[in-house]
Structure 1
Amino acid sequence: MKQPGGKLFTVGLIASWYASNIGVLLLNKYLLSNYGFKYPIFLTMCHMTACSLLSYVAIAWMKMVPMQTLRSRVQFFKIAALSLVFCISVVFGNISLRFLPVSFNQAVGATTPFFTAVFAYIMTFKREEWITYLTLVPVVTGVIIASGGEPSFHLFGFIMCISATAARALKSVLQGILLSSEGEKLNSMNLLLYMAPIAVVFLLPATLIMEKNVVGITVSLARDDTRIVWYLLFNSALAYLVNLTNFLVTKHTSALTLQVLGNAKGAVAVVVSILIFRNPVSVTGMLGYSLTVVGVVLYSESKKRSK
């Protein structure tokens, strides 16, 4: 009887990972675009504050994983650098949601493998098999086609989205370089525990300078509509849940399974967002996105075989 229970637990974890990933994406879009809460940096700071507090609760109090301590000042500065790149990726991603529909945002985001391969080559001179590079052609071609066929295309939103995707890829490559030695490796939950508070330190001055009086505006908004408080609290908790379920799904399945599920998640997010927000889509745009997803699947398969 243990096996079905184990399978049921894993299915529940995967469902939670999907729900939190797609949920935070859709709620970000609703708040930043439909609701009119046009403060992406403050929203990201709320996410990082929640990740700081909940990470500490999960590790220090609930003992979900053993706490890993920082070994040196150098390791701290490496994590700070990762945190800055991570901040940029999340802020730019949230800014792009103000201008682009979730469906197109996901199409652009699917090009992460392309940027990862480029940064890995530039920074580590790591060469992949020629077939792996070949699979990146449909990844990029699909986004070019999707951009041409996107009815709600917005140039600034597109630049922000591409920048967010590139920063996300850069963070993963940097993480491999900076925390490569055995003494410096941190599991994803401990890494978040140290990265999130540093991110808040980066985001606080950026919020005060670029989104002036956002706290006053939020308080004033809350007086008229208390739902905004619950939206922000729930959204921030979801942002942490994304990281927690990501860690747990990897632990109970494998990194490869997570990658496959991630490819499918993008497609599910596109369908759900179109059903909820009813943003216009074109046949050309959907064909382009489908081509990108096929390219990402082929890229994952090629990487798996090269190992």
Structure 2
Amino acid sequence: MLTLATMPIFTVILSRIILREKQTGRVYLSLVPIVGGVAIATLTELSFNFIGLISALASTVAFSLQTIYSKKVLCDTGLHHLRLLFILGRLALIMFLPVWIIYDLKSLIVESLSVNSISYNVLGLLLLDGILNWLQNIVAFSVMSIVTPLTYAVANASKRIFVIAVTLFILGNPVTGLNIFGMTLAITGVFCYNKAKYDQRQEQKKITLLPVYTELSNGSATLQGNGWSSDKHRLLAV
């Protein structure tokens, strides 16, 4: 979960490279408390393994790339987000079904024939987990179709705070001051990010509303924007 907190960092870098998206300095700064807060909140559950760390970082980068290219497909093709989810799910089934048959199906058959077979309670939990994961993907792609990849990454990082809070109550993990500080810092960072993005949108609106003064080849000038035109010394309503 610690590496998943870095997803906004990877997303903002990859969005700048792939989508040419530029953010304001305040947006970049607002990512610091989000990433730092999630990282601090998960320090009590930290267990280091080099191979695990590399795998988690690779998974985070892949997830960021999936978010960026899914958003790009939605924007370029106009495809419905649930249709895209269906296509990706079908491709994933075709790609990984042989792997599941080779590795997992054999183990399930052997365990089901043994004395210590899987209980109905475990099967029920697996079914519930599958349903919840399906619903989570529907919500994720619905959100992705509305917001930018960076905003989605921030929302995904914020979701970790909720997951940590739930595990603290359900699993009975001890709540430390470090957990509370990290969650508070991350929530504060989310508010700062929302404010920075709002200010960025307002600035973009002002730029599009400002008139553009263009010099023509014959020496006259045209003022464009807000429905007005200018011919050197006068303004005429278009």
| TM-score, length of structure 1 as denominator length | 0.52
Separation of aligned partners in 1, 2:65 and 2:130: 24
Q: CA deviation at 1:110?
A: 4.2
* Number of equivalences: 196
The aligned counterpart of 2:33 is: 138
Structure holding more helix per residue: 1
Q: Are the structure 2 counterparts of residues 159 and 139 from structure 1 closer, same or farther at C-alpha, using a change threshold of 3 Å?
A: farther
Separation of aligned partners in 1, 2:187 and 2:61: 17
Query: Are residue 275 (structure 1) and residue 159 (structure 2) matched?
Result: no
CA contact (8 A) 1:208 1:214 kept: no
Q: Which amino acid aligns with 1:139?
A: I
CA contact (8 A) 1:132 1:302 kept: yes
Structure holding more strand per residue: 2
Query: Are residue 294 (structure 1) and residue 166 (structure 2) matched?
Result: no
Q: Are the structure 2 counterparts of residues 163 and 281 from structure 1 closer, same or farther at C-alpha, using a change threshold of 3 Å?
A: farther
The aligned counterpart of 1:193 is: 86
5 Å-filtered alignment, 1:107-118, equals: 108-118=3-13
1:17-70 Cα shifts (integer Å, max 9, x gaps): xxxxxxxxxxxxxxxxxxxxxxxxxxxxxxxxxxxxxxxxxxxxxxxxxxxxxx
Q: Are the structure 2 counterparts of residues 194 and 219 from structure 1 closer, same or farther at C-alpha, using a change threshold of 3 Å?
A: farther
1:70-119 Cα shifts (integer Å, max 9, x gaps): xxxxxxxxxxxxxxxxxxxxxxxxxxxxxxxxxxx2x6534432222111
Query: Are residue 202 (structure 1) and residue 95 (structure 2) matched?
Result: yes
Aligned-residue CA RMSD in angstroms? Answer: 3.6
Q: Which amino acid aligns with 2:97?
A: L
Q: Are the structure 2 counterparts of residues 162 and 169 from structure 1 closer, same or farther at C-alpha, using a change threshold of 3 Å?
A: same
CA contact (8 A) 1:110 1:296 kept: no
Separation of aligned partners in 2, 1:200 and 1:113: 28
The aligned counterpart of 1:58 is: none
CA contact (8 A) 1:110 1:293 kept: no
CA contact (8 A) 2:5 2:39 kept: no
3-state SS, counterpart of residue 279 of structure 1: coil
CA contact (8 A) 2:34 2:158 kept: no
Separation of aligned partners in 1, 2:111 and 2:87: 28
The aligned counterpart of 1:95 is: none
Q: Are the structure 2 counterparts of residues 139 and 267 from structure 1 closer, same or farther at C-alpha, using a change threshold of 3 Å?
A: closer
Query: Are residue 215 (structure 1) and residue 120 (structure 2) matched?
Result: no
Q: Are the structure 2 counterparts of residues 131 and 150 from structure 1 closer, same or farther at C-alpha, using a change threshold of 3 Å?
A: same
5 Å-filtered alignment, 1:10-49, equals: none
Q: Which amino acid aligns with 2:109?
A: G
Q: CA deviation at 1:270?
A: 1.9
Unaligned runs of 5+ in 1: 1-104
Give the counterpart of 1:173 among 68, 75, 78: 68
| TM-score, length of structure 2 as denominator length | 0.64
CA contact (8 A) 1:143 1:292 kept: yes
Separation of aligned partners in 2, 1:196 and 1:281: 38
Q: Are the structure 2 counterparts of residues 246 and 146 from structure 1 closer, same or farther at C-alpha, using a change threshold of 3 Å?
A: closer
Q: Which amino acid aligns with 1:130?
A: G
Query: Are residue 227 (structure 1) and residue 121 (structure 2) matched?
Result: yes
Identical aligned pairs, as a percentage? 25
Which structure has the larger Rg over C-alpha atoms? 2
Q: Are the structure 2 counterparts of residues 263 and 240 from structure 1 closer, same or farther at C-alpha, using a change threshold of 3 Å?
A: same
5 Å-filtered alignment, 1:119-130, equals: 119-130=14-25
Q: Which amino acid aligns with 1:267?
A: I
1:189-221 Cα shifts (integer Å, max 9, x gaps): 111111111111222233345557233246447
Q: Are the structure 2 counterparts of residues 303 and 108 from structure 1 closer, same or farther at C-alpha, using a change threshold of 3 Å?
A: farther
